[in-house]
């Protein structure tokens, strides 16, 4: 169990203060779990108040003692009451801001309206793009945790062949892998930033189920156990001669990595194994072109173009009619961070120490899906692997 070092927390708020200066935001209030964890090292509930200059204050409603234990920040105090927040800040010598940055992408309206009233006549501004872009650039400390995640991930995938068997259901396999993952250190909880987005360890599919589209913005969908979940593994039984695809997120000490591997139960159709090797080629393309200064959108376009050239236009990143317009997504504390290797992001550039998952996949309704996914780190010269499990099309 790591406690985030104070130097980390300092570097993080100083970078955000730089963005706030540019935006003309005099103070920011952050309250969402992932942002709290990034800027305080804890998710004990309260308010992280960051003035554009000087030190931040972490005012904690529950549990204060625990926040003191988990956070390396200098100024941690009990939150008297949200109603008195402006008074409490002023009593600490802080002047109230005229422009206040809030996480408008995740903050529910009722919370917002309360803060807006409390800090009136301050102008509220969305600080979430700045927070997300700060969080997109990882420190060596963060990357070292993600490397630990990749170690756990590899153990899970080494274990997988021993639990997959004809006649078992996809959910049985998922349950056994989840249990193994937890014993290896997986924290269980996985965080999404997007509203209504939920994920439970990831996706485990045999054969046809992987081609069923679902509500989430993911290339594979899945029937899931019921319409209330509406995605992921179902009670489908594993048959011989079908692909088995495992797309898992490993979460450890607050950070995530994302990895997909495809296996063959028996002999899968050549069309599917060909598609798998094509997806590896698209990954190879990524490796050739991704480096600092290249736009997210251009990486997407070039890799998608290759998929089209290889003949997978109607299968790439989803079944026809439900194809998603991305191939990769940032990972860190959340599974939908920046950068987005997606259509249209032509002005946003890759930067050193961004980390992202890249997941070329091909979907064949009635047969199943194949693909590969790894989590990558942008380095000075190109990109480096964080996840590293064997990529051969394992025959079970």
Strand, coil or helix: what is 183?
helix
Q: Which of 106, 149, 275, 372 binds its own copies (CB under 8 A)?
A: 106
According to DSSP, the residues that pair with 161 across neighbouring strands are none
Q: Binding its own copies by CB under 8 A: which of 23, 94, 122, 229? A: 229
Give yes or no for residue 389 binding its own copies (CB under 8 A).
Answer: no
Q: State in angstroms the smallest separation of the CB of 306 from its own copies.
A: 26
Handedness of CA 135, 139, 142, 146 (dihedral sign): positive
**Between 26 and 142, CB nearer to its own copies:** 142
Q: What tokens were used for 184?
A: 């290896």
Among 9, 333, 354, 369, binds its own copies (CB under 8 A): 333
Cα(174)–Cα(199) distance, integer angstroms:
13
Q: Determine which residue in the list 8, 10, 33, 143 makes contact with its own copies, applying CB under 8 A.
A: 33
* Distant-in-sequence, close-in-space partners of 149: CB < 8 Å, separation ≥ 6: 250, 251, 252, 255, 256, 257, 386
Using CA atoms in the order 255, 257, 258, 261, what is the torsion angle rounded to 10 degrees?
Answer: -140
The residues in 37-66 that bind its own copies, with binding defined as CB under 8 A, are: 37, 41-45, 62-63, 65-66
Among 15, 77, 230, 389, binds its own copies (CB under 8 A): 230
Element (H, E) at 60: strand 57-62
From candidates 6, 91, 95, 215, binder to its own copies by CB under 8 A: 215
Neighbours of 182 (CB within 10 A): 12
What is the C-alpha separation between 254 and 34, in angstroms, rounded? 9
Give the integer Cα–Cα distance in Å for 370 and 246: 9
1 lies in the site for its own copies, by CB under 8 A = yes
Note whether 129 binds its own copies by CB under 8 A. no
Site residues (CB under 8 A) for its own copies?
1-4, 31-33, 37, 41-45, 62-63, 65-66, 70, 102, 104-113, 126, 171-172, 174-176, 178-179, 182-183, 185, 187-189, 195-196, 198, 200-201, 212-215, 217, 221, 224-230, 232, 235, 252-255, 321-322, 333
């Amino acid at each position: 169990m790591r406690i985030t070092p104070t130097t980390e927390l300092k570097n993080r708020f100083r970078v955000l203060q730089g963005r706030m200066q540019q935006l003309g935001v005099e103070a920011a209030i952050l309250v969402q779990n992932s942002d709290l964890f990034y800027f305080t090292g804890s998710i004990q509930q309260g308010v992280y108040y960051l003035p554009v200059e000087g030190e931040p204050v972490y005012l904690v409603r529950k549990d204060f003692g625990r926040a003191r234990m988990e956070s390396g920040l200098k100024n941690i105090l009990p939150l008297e009451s949200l109603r008195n927040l402006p008074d409490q800040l002023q009593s600490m010598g802080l002047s109230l801001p005229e422009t206040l940055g809030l996480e408008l992408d995740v903050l529910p309206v009722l919370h917002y309206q309360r803060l807006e009233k409390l800090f009136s006549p301050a102008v509220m501004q969305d600080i979430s793009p700045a927070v997300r872009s700060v969080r997109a650039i990882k420190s060596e400390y963060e990357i070292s945790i993600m490397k630990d995640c990749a170690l756990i991930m590899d153990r899970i995938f080494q274990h997988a062949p021993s639990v997959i068997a004809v006649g078992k259901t996809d959910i049985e396999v998922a349950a056994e892998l989840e249990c193994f993952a937890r014993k290896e250190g997986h924290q269980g909880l996985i965080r999404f930033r997007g509203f209504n987005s939920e994920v439970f360890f990831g996706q485990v599919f045999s054969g046809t189920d992987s081609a069923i589209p679902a509500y989430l913005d993911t290339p594979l969908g899945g029937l899931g156990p019921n319409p209330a979940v509406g995605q992921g593994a179902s009670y489908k039984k594993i048959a011989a001669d079908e692909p088995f695809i495992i797309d898992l997120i490993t979460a450890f000490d607050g950070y995530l990595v994302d990895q997909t591997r495809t296996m063959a139960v028996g002999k899968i159709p050549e069309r599917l194994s060909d598609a798998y090797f094509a997806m590896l080629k698209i990954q190879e393309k990524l490796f050739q072109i991704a480096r600092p200064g290249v736009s997210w959108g251009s990486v997407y376009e070039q890799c998608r173009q290759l998929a089209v050239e290889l003949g997978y236009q109607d299968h790439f990143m989803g079944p026809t009619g439900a194809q998603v317009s991305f191939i990769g997504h940032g990972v860190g504390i959340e599974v939908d961070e920046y950068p987005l290797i997606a259509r249209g992001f032509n002005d946003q550039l890759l930067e050193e120490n961004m980390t992202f998952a890249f997941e070329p996949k091909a979907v064949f309704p009635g047969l199943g899906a194949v693909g590969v996914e790894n989590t990558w780190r942008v380095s000075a010269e190109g990109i480096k692997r964080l996840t590293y499990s064997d990529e051969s099309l394992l025959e079970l």
